[in-house]
Amino acid sequence: GPGGGLLGGAPADGELLERLAALPRVDVDPKVSPEQARAWDPDFGLRTLVRPFRLPLLGGLALVGADALAQLAVPVLVRHGVDSGVSRSAPAVLLATSGVAAVVVLLGWLVNVAQVRVTGRTGERLLHALRVRTYAQLQRLGLDYYEREQGGRIMTRMTTDVDALSAFLQTGLVTFVVSLLTMLGVLVALLVIDAGLAVTLLLALPVLVAATAVFRARSLPAYLDARERVSAVNAYLQENVALIRVTQAYGREARNARDFARLAWAFRDSRLRAQRLMATFFPFVEFLGTAATALILVIGAGQVRDGRLTAGVLIAFLLYVELFFSPIQQLSQAFDGYQQAVVGLGRLRTLMREPVGTPVAERPVPVRELRGEIEFDRVS
């Protein structure tokens, strides 16, 4: 059939071919140089991958920074509205501040829309170049590589590893950058508003840093193990589907089913180890944020009662504390994708560094000009 992969030997039926023919043609130019995308790059890495797209990526990061600034501006406006509007019974000030806050939120929404479009389009262009580069490398590799590598593992490079990198570049990277900029901006804002209360939050940072270091040290090996095991599952599945006739001819269905179940169960156990680490670390971070908020509320309420702190400052401070720990919770969703993207990128880098065994022809040779000889040397 025209397809490949796990069901490469299955013929395509008429309905499938009709549906493929009915799909609209894609005529959008990804603006990726085919020669550059297909070139062999033994020094392949994230830097060389993103270098041709650095300008749109920088533009996307600028929009991400503007989005973070919009989030940081809201608590400042809340503080001004409470202290200058509510506390002084000035409805005009309160309405004006609310109007400015509404404009900031609207601008933040527009920036977010533009950021999603820019980063999404750039990410798709980058992944197009990555898929072309990976496929070209597979075409260059010699037969010795395909003799020693299982077909399922090769398919995992083009599917699971590329998809993991795709998911991170499309959503996880933006979440990571926004969260990091928000956390840094919140720390600066807290120190400017009230350095004394900010020290209370800073006391939780060493605990957070230590917990993050322990989590990273234990989670990365777990993710590496999970990626190896999913490759084994895909390889075994691919071989069994391709050789199903041999399996049935020798009556090995039950044996192969047990072997596949063993591999799949090992992959399940490996993933559960990584998920248990996440289920321990991120609830701990949430507890740490709640404890810090409660401590700041107790200290700040006493200062408001004594007249050393205004209610607006305390409210803004609590909003900033929530903004500080909320991105960490968002990182819990992006961290899983980040770990898988790191592992996938490492495996793609290993593939790109494989020595090329197929010489590249200087010019396309027509079939009618092809000639060959078979020589028997010391054959008996």
Query: pLDDT-derived band of residue 329, with 50, 70 and 90 as boundaries?
Result: low
Residues in the chain: 380
Backbone dihedral region for residue 5 (phi beyond 0: left; psi -120 to 50: alpha; all else: beta): left
Task: Compute the distance between CA of residue 188 and CA of residue 198 in angstroms, rounded to an integer.
Answer: 9
31 pLDDT above the threshold of 80: no
Task: Compute the distance between CA of residue 134 and CA of residue 343 in angstroms, rounded to an integer.
Answer: 16
| Amino acid, single-letter form, for residue 208 | L
Query: pLDDT-derived band of residue 5, with 50, 70 and 90 as boundaries?
Result: very low
10 pLDDT above the threshold of 60: no
Q: What is the pLDDT of residues 156-201, one digit of tens each?
A: 777 777 877 777 777 777 777 777 888 888 888 888 877 777 887 7
Backbone dihedral region for residue 251 (phi beyond 0: left; psi -120 to 50: alpha; all else: beta): left
User: Quick one: pLDDT at residue 1?
Assistant: 38
77 pLDDT above the threshold of 80: yes
2 pLDDT above the threshold of 60: no
User: Quick one: pLDDT at residue 356?
Assistant: 79
Please enumerate in sequence order all residues whose Cβ is within 8 A of that of 280, keeping only pairs 6 or more positions apart, or say none.
Answer: none
- The domain ranges of the chain are 32-355
Query: pLDDT-derived band of residue 8, with 50, 70 and 90 as boundaries?
Result: very low
Place of tokens 């069994």: 240
Task: For the chain, give the longest Cα–Cα distance.
Answer: 106
User: Quick one: pLDDT at residue 27?
Assistant: 67
Place of tokens 């400042």: 76
| Residue 53: DSSP 8-state | G
- How far separated are the first and last CA of the chain, in Å rounded? 39
CA distances from 258 to 176, 243, 262, 340 (A): 41, 17, 6, 28
Q: How does the average pLDDT of the chain come out, rounded?
A: 81
Query: pLDDT-derived band of residue 305, with 50, 70 and 90 as boundaries?
Result: confident
CA distances from 62 to 68, 111, 158, 312 (A): 10, 10, 31, 30
User: Quick one: pLDDT at residue 228?
Assistant: 80
| Residue 208: DSSP 8-state | H
Task: Compute the distance between CA of residue 233 and CA of residue 231 in angstroms, rounded to an integer.
Answer: 5
Q: Which two tokens stand for residue 260?
A: 């596949």
| CA atoms 342, 345, 347, 350: torsion sign | negative
11 pLDDT above the threshold of 70: no
User: Quick one: pLDDT at residue 332?
Assistant: 62
Give the Cβ contact number of residue 301 at 10 Å.
Answer: 13
Lowest mean pLDDT of 63-67, 75-79, 280-284, 366-370, name the range.
366-370
CA distances from 161 to 116, 307, 316 (A): 23, 58, 43
Query: pLDDT-derived band of residue 110, with 50, 70 and 90 as boundaries?
Result: very high
Looking at domain 32-355, which CATH architecture does it have?
Answer: Up-down Bundle (1.20)
Task: Compute the distance between CA of residue 131 and CA of residue 161 in angstroms, rounded to an integer.
Answer: 11
343 pLDDT above the threshold of 80: no
Q: What is the pLDDT of residues 245-281, one digit of tens each?
A: 888 898 889 999 999 999 999 999 988 988 888 888 8
Q: What is the pLDDT of residues 217-256, one digit of tens each?
A: 888 788 778 878 887 888 888 888 888 888 889 888 999 9
Q: Using DSSP, how many helices (H) and how many strands (E) does the chain show?
A: 14, 0
Task: Compute the distance between CA of residue 133 and CA of residue 153 in angstroms, rounded to an integer.
Answer: 17
C-beta of residue 135 within 8 angstroms of C-beta of residue 352: no
Task: Compute the distance between CA of residue 115 and CA of residue 126 in angstroms, rounded to an integer.
Answer: 16
- Residues 296/299/305/311 CA torsion (nearest 10 deg): -20
